[in-house]
Structure formats: structure tokens, C-alpha cells
Amino acid sequence: MDLIFIRIAFFLVLCLVCFVLRPFGLNPWLSAGLGALAACLVVFFELRVRALSLRKLFGAVIGSTLGIIGAFLISLILRSSIPPGPTQGVLQIFVLLLMGYVGLVIGTHKGDLLNLNALGELFASERSPGKRNVKVLDTSAIIDGRIADMAETGFLEGALVVPEFILRELQMIADSQESSRRQRGRRGLDVLQRMQANTQLTVQIVSDDYPNIREVDLKLIELAKTLEAKILTNDFNLNKVAHLHNVSVLNINDLANSLKPVVLPGEKMQIVILKEGKEYNQGVGYLDDGTMVVVDHARRMIGRSVEISVTSVLQTASGKMIFGKLDEPPRLEGTRGIELAH
């Protein structure tokens, strides 16, 4: 809010100065209009600069500085090769604008390649453990709820950052007309309140936003770049996109899958067959952690607890699947009748 007042004050002061001083001998109101236009351009430039990451900002400064130095050297050549006059002045201004613009654009584009940690003690804050331990929370991770349990166990260190655009998305979900969607949104808000109430956690609400970016996932990625943070999520697509942008991701589903007990072929386990499988004569059950167990020749055992032998374990993107077989497959009734007849 303070920035808005500062921008308005800057706008009014520049308009007033131009109105009173009348640069170039123009009409006072025309001068004030030019001052207003200049103020708008300055504010627009400031908004664009604020959206840049620290690396891109330093890249832009370095690139524009090198461009100006190059333009100065070229101007020395122009002075000795072209007679003084309007032509020389126009060429010098053109070279200055061209080199400055090219240096600014290239420096901004290549700024992500800078290693701020190697620039000395000036950027010590970039190397601090607190900075590296910042984690940005995604909407899916908040609604999931397991993040609160993880944080309370002490396995998560550093600050947990929740941007305001994520809070707005949660509020929109909580205000949805659809009942299930509304419940998910309210659960996410409850999870945030629970985490804020925990004195051992550091939960920060930041107002950083990127108006020129519409997608929430891309805003999260840009914020993570700015804060040198990791994204905490269980969104598979966000995980892939973030890796393409060289942003580290902590995926809750990957953590949950890695913590599931290792099962080897040949092991025996007790499982309750709950439903029919996709293939013929299969039964399906679940372990306590939600791992699906597919059992051959178990269709007739639905609703019963059986002992099985593990035949194989399949790791998929959504988790593990265990395949097994009954130690003693039940005989078919027709087969039993034939045996009795003999």
C-alpha cells in the first residue's frame, strides 16, 4: 500500500515540476502532460524491474554497463572519422541506444547463468542457510494436509512461504458452489491455521506477485527463483515444469512412496480381498499405507483374509503395486464335483 502512495506522489510531483518549469518552452498544460507520460513510463519500468529475479537484475546491470562502455569506444572512432555536425551526433546517440539496449536484453536473458555465491561477501545473504531452507507451498500440498504432520515431526527446516496468490486460490476453492471442492478449500485453510499455530514452525505470507504471469504454477516457479527456494507440492505436472525451469521440488507423494516398506518376491503377507481385479479371476486388496495388492485366483475370496506370496513389485508414477498369488489356490466347484464322482 505504501508503494501506491509513493507512486502517486512521484506522479503528481513530476507533473507539477513540468507545469511550473515548462521544459522546451512548451505550454504549461502540455508540459504537465509530458511529465505525466514520463511518470507512467518510470512506474512501468519499476514494475518490470521488481518482477526480475536478483540474478536477472545483476545480469541487466552488467550487460547495460558493458553496452555503454562499448558505445563510448565506438563514439571515439566516430569522432575521428566523421566531421563534427548533426550526422555525428545522431550516430553517437544511435550507437549509445543500440549498445545499451542490446546489453540490457542479453544481460537479462543470461542473468540466470550468474553464480552469485562466487561474487564474494557482498552476496553472503544468498549463501545463508536460512535462504536455502526456504520452501514455497503449493495449493495441492496445503489441501493434502500431510505437510502439517511432516512439519510437526521436525523433518522440515527453514521458513515455509505461502504467497498471497495461493491464499486467493484457496479462498476461491473454499467459496466454490461444488460441495467437494468447497470442503477441500476449507481443509486447506484449516491446515494453514494449524501450521501457523505451531510455535516451532515459521510460516510466512508474502505479497510477491507477478501480474504479467497468469498461471499460478508459473508464478510459483518465478517466486521460487527469486527466493532461491524449493517448491513443496504433490502436483505431478508442476513437478515436471519446475524441473524444466531448474527449480528444486520436494514432492510429498515421492516421499510417501519412498517410506513404504520394501517388499521382496517370495515374502508372505496377510491381506483382505476387497474387490474384483481387472483381469480374470483376480482379487484386489490394500495394505495399511494404501498400497494396492493384486492377487491371482482370489476372485472367490472377496471379503476374506488370505495369506499370499509376493510374486513381483511394480513401481509406477502414482506408487507401488504388489502382485501375489494364493499359497493354495481354491479349487473350482465343478472340479470338486468331478473328483467326488470318481
CATH of residue 314: 2.40.50.140
Could you give the percent of the chain with pLDDT greater than 90? 4
Mean pLDDT (whole number) for 86-109: 83
Final residue belonging to a domain, choices 116, 148, 180: 116
Mean pLDDT (whole number) for 222-246: 88
pLDDT tens, 10-24?
888 888 888 888 877
What integer pLDDT is reported at residue 284 of this predicted model?
A: 92
Mean pLDDT (whole number) for 38-53: 79
276 in Cβ contact with 299 (< 8 Å): yes
Co-location of 160 and 182 in the same domain? yes
* Assigned domain for 342 exists: no
Co-location of 168 and 220 in the same domain? yes
Q: What is the count of structural domains for the chain?
A: 3
* Assigned domain for 152 exists: yes
- Residue bearing the bigger pLDDT, 36 or 253: 36
Co-location of 313 and 207 in the same domain? no
* Assigned domain for 326 exists: yes
Final residue belonging to a domain, choices 258, 284, 304: 258
* Assigned domain for 341 exists: no
Co-location of 111 and 165 in the same domain? no
What integer pLDDT is reported at residue 78 of this predicted model?
A: 82
* Assigned domain for 338 exists: no
Final residue belonging to a domain, choices 73, 92, 116: 116
* Assigned domain for 134 exists: yes
- Quickly state the pLDDT bin for 132 (edges 50, 70, 90): low
Q: Quote the domain boundaries for residue 323.
A: 268-333
Co-location of 17 and 100 in the same domain? yes
Co-location of 23 and 96 in the same domain? yes
Co-location of 14 and 110 in the same domain? yes
Co-location of 8 and 52 in the same domain? yes
Co-location of 253 and 272 in the same domain? no
Residue 144 sits in a domain whose CATH number is: 3.40.50.1010
What pTM was estimated for this model as a whole? 0.48
* Assigned domain for 340 exists: no
Q: Comparing C-alpha atoms, which of 256, 208, 272 is closest to residue 50? A: 208
Co-location of 142 and 213 in the same domain? yes
Co-location of 251 and 317 in the same domain? no
Co-location of 93 and 35 in the same domain? yes
pLDDT tens, 287-329?
877 788 999 988 888 888 888 888 888 877 666 788 998 876 5
What integer pLDDT is reported at residue 122 of this predicted model?
A: 44
d(CA 172, CA 68): 48
